[in-house]
Amino acid sequence: MWKKNESHQIVHYYWGEAKMQFVRESDSYTHWVMLAPEEGAFRYAIGQEEGEASFGQVVIVPPGITLWREVSSTALSFHFVEFKWTEEEVPRIAKTKAMPCGAVSIVDKQRLLSTYDYLKQASADKDLSAHYVFDLLLLCLNSMRAGEEELKPIDEVIRNVAAYIDENAAEPLKMETVAVRYGLSASQLTRRFQAAYQKGPLQYLTSVRIHNIKEMLIHTDYTIDTIAQLNGFQNGFYMCKVFTQQTNMNPSEFRKTHRV
């Protein structure tokens, strides 16, 4: 955990939404940096490593190393975190293994999506942001199979539930039916899902749908009603209401803002 008496471990956090290009094509930083795309993609180079990162990957840059980057999609929405830590805060595995450098592919994408949601919500609170930044770092370490003991294991049944929700988010899912499918009561499902992902299953379903809706708004010419039907909503009016509540922007505005 980050030290509560040192509230400025997050040097800088920035949520960049619908950017057509980076302000600078290259930069180096005094502290560690994580650059995590949520929508869209970017090309990068760190030393001898070159590649393209999109959702599900986090690019980690050590202090003093130059990062070259270029937006490679129509638009890019990303999390940028510059952070520091003290020696005692470094995960135990980091003291005996090489820390990540370059792109890390995250195995647990359900948990990654939840972490992104909470990072945006907590952006004004450095102590709370630090908690989710640390969780993001541990997801990276875990995905490298280098520090699994550092993360609280995700309930295997609930992991399967989350995967089922991902695969069936376009359907009119009822959580009571999902609970029965996995041998749980509705209250057990909610409690165990909340413990694993810090949000209830219905909230998780909504976040998955919003993510999918954004992708369709950006990359297709489907009407609002068609997108609603493809994402488990009865009609476009209700989808617009939910989308606006979650993003503070209606779907038409989002499409206009995020497309060239």
Q: Which pLDDT does position 153 carry in this prediction?
A: 62
pLDDT attached to residue 103: 87
Tell me the DSSP string of 23-83.
S-SEE--SSEEEEEEEESEEEEEETTEEEEEETTEEEEE-TT--EEEEE-SS-EEEEEEEE
What is the layout of strands, in order, in the sheet containing 49-54? 26-27, 67-71, 41-46, 49-54
Helix axes 186-197, 109-121, angle to 10 degrees: 70
How far is 255 from 34, CA to CA, in rounded Å?
27
Do residues 48 and 94 make contact, with C-beta atoms less than 8 angstroms apart?
A: no
- Percent of the chain exceeding pLDDT 90 equals 30
Q: What is the mean pLDDT of residues 164-174?
A: 91
Percent of the chain's residues with pLDDT above 70: 85
Contact 246, 205 (CB under 8 A): no
Please give the mean pLDDT across all residues of the chain: 81
Spatial distance between the Cα atoms of 52 and 104, rounded to a whole number of angstroms: 11
Beta-carbon contacts of 123 under 8 Å, excluding residues fewer than 6 positions away, are 13, 15, 129
- What tens digit of pLDDT does each residue of 67-122 get? 999 999 888 889 998 877 654 455 544 443 456 678 888 888 888 888 888 888 87
User: Left if phi > 0, otherwise alpha if psi is -120 to 50, otherwise beta: which for 49?
Assistant: beta
Strand arrangement of the beta sheet that strand 32-39 belongs to: 10-19, 76-83, 32-39, 57-61, 102-105
Residue 223 identity: T
Rg (CA), the chain: 19
Q: What is the pLDDT of residue 94?
A: 46
**Residue 230's pLDDT is what?**
94
- Strands (DSSP E) along the chain, which ranges? 10-19, 26-27, 32-39, 41-46, 49-54, 57-61, 67-71, 76-83, 102-105
Give yes or no for residue 2 having a pLDDT over 50: no
- 180: pLDDT strictly greater than 50: yes
pLDDT of residue 146: 45
Domains of the chain, with CATH numbers?
10-150 (2.60.120.280), 156-258 (1.10.10.60)
pLDDT, tens digit (0-9, with 9 covering 90-100), for 119-139: 888 777 777 777 788 788 888
